Structure 1
Amino acid sequence: MSASNAMGMSEGAPSVMEVYEKLEKVGEGSYGKVYRARDRRTGQIVALKKTRLRDDEEGVPPTALREISLLKMLSIDPHVVRLLDLKQGQNKEGKTVLYLVFEYMDTDLKKFIRSFRQAGEKMPAKTVKSLMFQLCKGVAFCHGHGVLHRDLKPHNLLMDKKSGLLKIADLGLSRAFTIPIKKYTHEILTLWYRAPEVLLGATHYSTPVDIWSVGCIFAELVTNQALFPGDSELQQLLHIFRLLGTPNEEVWPGVTALKNWHEFPQWKPKCLSTAVPDLDPAGLDLLWMMLQYEPSKRISAKKAMEHRYFDDLDKSNL
């Protein structure tokens, strides 16, 4: 059974516009446009993600289909955005276009954080804890199935405002569509959540890259500000080194052999509480474990869920 059949992309099926009515464009990601749409059959509101394939591809490449069936499998987890449907179509130039149909969520973590920042308020500690636990749970599920996200950031974490439910989006797309369609605004290709081993040019990296991103998001939930807001790869590294100290062979064996390693300015590590003053000691301990330089020393998502920071969280409704 081919991946396209497995995804329910049968020949002669109704076209995407026969099934879904576009309501409005809600965003533009690095892989294409996103619309809010209505399923004409059920009235359900969905998110329609339109992605164009590479110009040299005839039809849908098997790699994209593999990633997409993986996405469908992962979306059984309550903390991964559900992929509901997949439709293939043609654009005006006759190029193949894929429509990925996802459940619709009313906001994302980036907008949620911004709402607190604009109101001049801090996010309640209980809310931070609940969102963090859900994020660790979703990431643990993906990692447990051998899938890295590689681009976790507040914008990719969707939320239901009423229930406080958090779900991971844009999973696997970085591998399915290796070349972003065009480089959109600077914002889209943000480096703020990128792990130091990736910035330093490591070619082999694994699940700890996502844990680093989770740590950066954790700090941002508490302070309403990005922890390391660099605007270039070098600036990004310097932001990290200023807080955590310039790494060396002692704290991170092999670091000086990485491709982008230079003689960097030497900074001594600071206390994390200087950057995230409102976080309690248990939270600072968890954050510290997520921001270890040596990837193998970073806590796993599964272990993070067992950390004492979450001891007083009511997990029954998560």
Structure 2
Amino acid sequence: MVTLPPVSIHGRRLGEDVLSNANLTVNLPKPKAWARKREREKVATETATNTMVSAMDLFEKLEKVGEGTYGKVYRAREKATGKIVALKKTRLHEDDEGVPPTTLREVSILRMLSRDPHIVRLLDVKQGQNKEGKTVLYLVFEYMDTDLKKFIRSFRQTGENIPVKTVKSLMYQLCKGVAFCHGHGVLHRDLKPHNLLMDRKTMMLKIADLGLARAFTLPIKKYTHEILTLWYRSPEVLLGATHYSTAVDVWWLGCIFAELATKQALFPGDSELQQLLHIFRLLGTPNEEMWPGVSNLMNWHEYPQWKPQSLSSAVTNLDKDGLDLLSQMLHYDPSKRISAKKAMEHPYFDDLEKDPL
């Protein structure tokens, strides 16, 4: 087991102490610019393993396997052991920001959640330099050879349906991982097939990319909503709600569930308005009776009035129990949406062998 050095964020050390307290909620305050710069410089030093050895002295890059807003991801080999790992490279800002806040959040939250088998494991954090001599951070992860997006696409290309047992197993694992996050006070906020890693041989699924995750507290805090991926965004966020909690992640679960069953995105909107209209056409235009308070949300307008359609008309290959679970995940009223933990107890999963998961 790799021992990670402690990280200090705004005066709080996150590491062994977090793992020892399952109910600890992590809050990341927003200090003034000068304090943030000083603290992030400290984190950049403390986060990297306490050695002057560069990451590239320890690892050999084999190929780039991904790239996003927050860095590039490489498949790499640890030189000493030959072990294959994933390296997520994050360049430090040259301005006053220092270590990107998404990286700080990802490291601290991954340490808190690393005990669950359905959360991708952070093995280490290393410093290195790019070709221009600029300092970069490498997050060293266990390597998974595919993701759910590629997995679904492979079935779409062959024209075959994903086996029912496979859909059931993947959804149970996903619910289990999300329930673990929520039980430790963490909202993922960016669940989508691309962020769900898989092992092709074992069919193990792991939640990754926690850079947008947030610790939540009660009462519910105010959050931004612009950064969430559009197709899986919950209606309360689309309508401008800034106070939300675990129900937003459950909506994402429902969208992914439907996509596993049909191999197509359930609500593929190309704008916030079109996304809402996709949802309204299938689930009906919400009103105060079905969702108290909806008309008070910031982005609420007079929308076209649609009646609810049967989920079975849009989501094939799900039995009665599957459709019932999906309907509870896609409930308009966030307070009535099923929790990830409760979803694990749904009759849909009764015939699933859960012990090996």
Asked whether the two chains share a fold, i.e. TM above 0.5, the reply is: yes
Q: Secondary structure at the match of 2:232?
A: coil
Aligned match of 2:262 in 211, 214, 223? 223
CA shift for structure 1 position 97: 2.3
CA shift for structure 1 position 190: 4.0
CA shift for structure 1 position 69: 2.5
CA shift for structure 1 position 64: 4.4
Matched, 1:60 2:99: yes
Q: Secondary structure at the match of 1:23?
A: strand
Matched, 1:41 2:45: no
CA shift for structure 1 position 53: 3.9
Q: Secondary structure at the match of 1:192?
A: helix
Aligned to 2:287: 248
Counterparts of 1:73-84 in structure 2 under 5 Å?
73-84=112-123
Work out whether residues 3 and 66 of structure 1, in 8 Å CA contact, stay in contact via their aligned partners in 2.
Answer: no
Matched, 1:154 2:154: no
- Partner Cα distance (1:192, 1:284) in 2: 20
Distance 1:235 1:58, change over 3 A: closer
5+ unaligned residues in a row in structure 2: which ranges?
Answer: 16-45, 215-226
- Partner Cα distance (1:73, 1:23) in 2: 29
- Partner Cα distance (1:287, 1:270) in 2: 14
Work out whether residues 282 and 309 of structure 1, in 8 Å CA contact, stay in contact via their aligned partners in 2.
Answer: yes
User: What amino acid is the match of 1:174?
Assistant: L
Aligned match of 1:126 in 152, 165, 170? 165
Matched, 1:198 2:237: yes
Distance 1:284 1:50, change over 3 A: same
Work out whether residues 47 and 125 of structure 2, in 8 Å CA contact, stay in contact via their aligned partners in 1.
Answer: yes
Counterparts of 1:146-295 in structure 2 under 5 Å?
146-171=185-210, 173-174=211-212, 190-295=229-334
CA shift for structure 1 position 66: 5.3
Aligned to 2:7: 3
CA shift for structure 1 position 94: 5.8
CA shift for structure 1 position 73: 2.5
Distance 1:298 1:258, change over 3 A: same
TM-score by length of 2: 0.81
Aligned to 1:97: 136
For residues 247-286 of structure 1, the C-alpha deviation after alignment (integer angstroms, 9 at most, x for no partner) is 1111111111111111111111111111112210000000
CA shift for structure 1 position 205: 1.1
- Partner Cα distance (1:35, 1:189) in 2: 24
Work out whether residues 60 and 96 of structure 1, in 8 Å CA contact, stay in contact via their aligned partners in 2.
Answer: no
CA shift for structure 1 position 56: 3.0
Work out whether residues 148 and 198 of structure 2, in 8 Å CA contact, stay in contact via their aligned partners in 1.
Answer: yes
- Partner Cα distance (1:190, 1:55) in 2: 28
Distance 1:90 1:229, change over 3 A: same
Work out whether residues 106 and 209 of structure 2, in 8 Å CA contact, stay in contact via their aligned partners in 1.
Answer: no
CA shift for structure 1 position 29: 1.8
- Partner Cα distance (1:21, 1:57) in 2: 31
Aligned to 2:352: 313
Which of 90-99 and 14-23 deviates more? 90-99
Aligned to 1:23: 62
CA shift for structure 1 position 13: 3.0
Q: Secondary structure at the match of 2:338?
A: coil
User: What amino acid is the match of 1:3?
Assistant: V
Work out whether residues 291 and 298 of structure 1, in 8 Å CA contact, stay in contact via their aligned partners in 2.
Answer: yes
CA shift for structure 1 position 2: 5.5
Distance 1:28 1:265, change over 3 A: same
- Partner Cα distance (2:92, 2:238) in 1: 27
Distance 1:237 1:58, change over 3 A: closer
- Partner Cα distance (1:10, 1:50) in 2: 15
